[in-house]
Amino acid sequence: MAYPLLLCGRKAGAALGGILASNVGAVCEASARLQQLRHASSHSENTNKFLREALDRLDYPEKLQNLLLTPRREMSVELVVQMDDGQIEVFNAYRVQHNNARGPYKGGLRYHPQVDLDDVRSLASLMTWKTAVMDIPYGGAKGGVTVDPRKLSERELEKMTRKLVVAIKEIIGTYEDIPAPDMNTDAKVMAWFFDEYSKYKGFSPGVVTGKPVYLHGSLGREAATGRGTTFAIRELLKALHMGKLAEQKYVIQGFGNVGAWAAQLLWEAGGKVVAVSDVAGAVQNENGLDIGELRRHVAGGRPLSEFPGGGAIRKEDILTHPCDVLIPAAIGGVIGAEQAAQLQCKVVVEAANGPTTPEGDAVLRERGITVLPDIYTNGGGVTVSFFEWVQNLQNFKWEEEDVNRKLDRKMTDAFAALWAVHREMAVPLRTAAFVVALQRVTRAEVHRGFD
Ligand code: NAD
């Protein structure tokens, strides 16, 4: 079956080059900048390396490549917060808006001590490609604050969040840029965000997604990324003739929103989750962990590794624990070349953003381990964020079954699109996903023009 959005090869490059030459010459003349982008080594460069593999297949002109690789806006601010003890702390915060050709900027907000501009830049770019792969009418953005939220009281966290809103309120908005939860930001943080923004701009529930259900949030949003991951695995298993969800053994790194929901849903589907980890420890049970019990255990404030229904293992060994499906669902960059050489799984399903480095990816390819890429796998989160936004615009709440059914449809359709390119172009699934995304974004860019 021919993939309808396919626009590739030298011909397409030349055609686009013609359109672009007259329109974006001035903006994109900086091919030195492209060279810079080509040679920097960083999180954003990792993302760009993957992107360039797809760009090489599409053979777009260099000017267009530069346009697609470069964020539209990067904002850095300092948040001055008076702490509970009267001390003044200053936190660095960022919002990067990567591309809005297909719709308003969209992307999460991360609170983490390792957040820096480069990190946020890379995550913003991933959002552009993710919203395109999922075919939802958004662009890509990301935000972050360099902070260890565990060291802040709830009151300090709220103050810091409200300061962030005041600092970036002129570049975000219901039709401009719509933040969402990411690592260490949850529905409560989103509610503060919505409230603070509404003080300045009037009632604006659609300015942020991932809000509590009782404060204009969507049913099904909390579980959406984990649920989407489960739908993604189901489609992959089908395509690879690996059988059903219930027939697999799973290992999951990360037991936060994404990891715990994925574990829960895979367990409910009859799968065996044989090991999970979090930042502090890991636990395993070869007969399958009782995820319901484990969630109750962790919710009670007890360490994951002390779960009585399993045995503790070193969290460093989680990725190499034998399984069929390995699901990194924590932080980026955890599967480098060294780890990739030691994995004992059939497929890697990237629920986290950027868990595999380009070097790790190359080793996995050599070893014949299939990787389902992040820009598709965890797209369920932003998809239900989109559903939440639509409900906010409609002032109407959908039923949870409706949300989950629509999510299933989106995940299934997106998989079919990337699988078709994977087969037609004989490229890895990651490259296929970027090809699908690049074609969609480029088509919008070119059609909208550059004046
Ligand atoms: P979270 O904060 O709810 O959970 C993160 C989990 O990772 C926790 O269990 C934490 O203990 C663990 N962790 C942190 N550092 C670790 C380390 N060094 N080693 C092992 N485990 C570690 O975050 P989340 O929302 O579940 O997000 C997880 C990943 O999924 C992130 O990469 C995020 O960008 C991505 N993601 C999240 C969503 C969403 O809707 N929440 C959507 C798309 C992508």
DSSP label of 264: H
**What is the reported pLDDT for 42?**
65
Backbone angles phi, psi at 275, to 5 degrees: -160, 140
pLDDT, residue 45, reads 79
Q: Is residue 27 in contact with ligand 1, taking CB distance under 6 Å?
A: no
What's the mean pLDDT in 156-180?
98
Q: Say what the pLDDT of residue 33 is.
A: 40
> Has 257 been labeled as part of a binding site?
yes
pLDDT higher than 70, residue 24: no
Is the pLDDT at 38 greater than 50? The verdict is no
pLDDT of residue 9: 35
Residue nearest to atom 33 of ligand 1 (CA): 352
Does 353 carry a binding-site annotation? no
| pLDDT higher than threshold 90 for residue 13 | no
Distance CA 341, CA 226 (A): 27
Distance 279 CA to ligand 1 centre (A): 9
Q: Find, among 374, 362, 322, 369, the residue nearest to 338 by Cα.
A: 362
Could you tell me which residue, 20 or 124, shows the higher pLDDT? 124
Residue 277 beta carbon below 6 angstroms from any ligand 1 atom = yes
Residue 161 vs residue 38, higher pLDDT:
161
Q: Answer positive or negative: Cα dihedral of 176, 180, 184, 185.
A: positive
d(CA 125, CA 210): 20
Q: For ligand 1, atom 15, name the residue with the nearest CA.
A: 279
Could you tell me the pLDDT band of residue 59, with boundaries at 50, 70 and 90? confident
Q: Is the pLDDT of residue 43 over 80?
A: no
Separation of alpha carbons 221 and 135, rounded Å: 18
Compare 39 and 350 and report the one with higher pLDDT: 350
Mean pLDDT across 323-344 = 97
pLDDT at 34 over 60: no
Instruction: Tell me what pLDDT residue 16 has.
Output: 45
Proportion of the chain above pLDDT 90, given as a percent: 85
- Check residue 83 and give its pLDDT: 98
* pLDDT (0 to 100) of residue 323: 98
Mutate to test the pocket of ligand 1, among 111, 257, 277, 334 (most ligand atoms within 8 A of CB): 257
Q: Which of 49, 63, 142, 315 is catalytic?
A: 142
Cβ 378 under 6 angstroms from ligand 1:
yes
Is the minimum distance from the CB of 330 to ligand 1 under 6 angstroms? Answer: yes
CB 242 within 8 A of CB 266: no
Cα–Cα distance between 397 and 213 in angstroms, integer? 9
- C-beta of 353 in contact with ligand 1 (< 6 A): yes
**Mean pLDDT throughout 423-446?**
97
With a 6 A CB cut-off, is 333 part of the ligand 1 pocket? no
Would you say the CB of residue 305 lies under 6 angstroms from ligand 1?
no
pLDDT of residue 11: 36
Atom 42 (ligand 1): residue with closest C-alpha?
381
Whether the per-residue pLDDT at 399 is higher than 70: the answer is yes
- Minimum mean pLDDT among 32-41, 194-203, 248-257, 304-313: which range? 32-41
Q: Which residue has the higher pLDDT, 254 or 36?
A: 254
How far does residue 380's CA lie from ligand 1's centre (Å)? Answer: 15
**pTM attached to this predicted model:** 0.90
Question: Can 151 be counted among the known catalytic residues?
Answer: no
Probe target for ligand 1 pocket from 279, 291, 387, with the most ligand atoms within 8 Å of CB: 279
Q: Is 130 annotated as a binding residue?
A: yes
What does 281-346 look like in DSSP terms, one character per residue? Answer: -EEE-TT---HHHHHHHHHTT--GGG-TTSEEE-GGGSTTS--SEEEE-S-SS-B-HHHHHH---S
Cβ atoms of 50 and 95 within 8 Å: the answer is: no
Mind listing the pLDDT tens digit for each residue in 266-311? 999 999 999 999 999 999 999 999 999 999 999 999 999 999 999 9
Q: 352-379 pLDDT, tens per residue?
A: 989 999 999 999 999 999 999 999 999 9
- What is the model's pLDDT at position 429? 98
Q: How far is the CA of 379 from the centre of ligand 1 (A)?
A: 14
Here the tokens at position 203 are: 């009632």
Is 385 marked as binding a ligand? Answer: yes
Going from the Cα of 108 to the center of ligand 1, the distance in angstroms, rounded, reads 12
User: Looking at the predicted structure, is the pLDDT value of residue 48 above 90?
Assistant: no
Chain segment 184-217, per-residue pLDDT in tens: 999 999 999 999 999 999 999 999 999 999 999 9
Burial of 169 (0-12, 13-18, 19+ CB in 10 A): middle
Are 126 and 374 contacting, i.e. CB atoms less than 8 angstroms apart? yes
- Give the residue from 126, 200, 210 showing the smallest Cα distance to 163: 200
User: What is the token pair recorded at 128?
Assistant: 């552009």
Q: Which amino acid is at 224?
A: A
Task: Look at residue 329 and tell me whether its pLDDT is greater than 60.
Answer: yes
Query: Which band of pLDDT confidence, cut at 50, 70 and 90, is reported for residue 342?
Result: very high
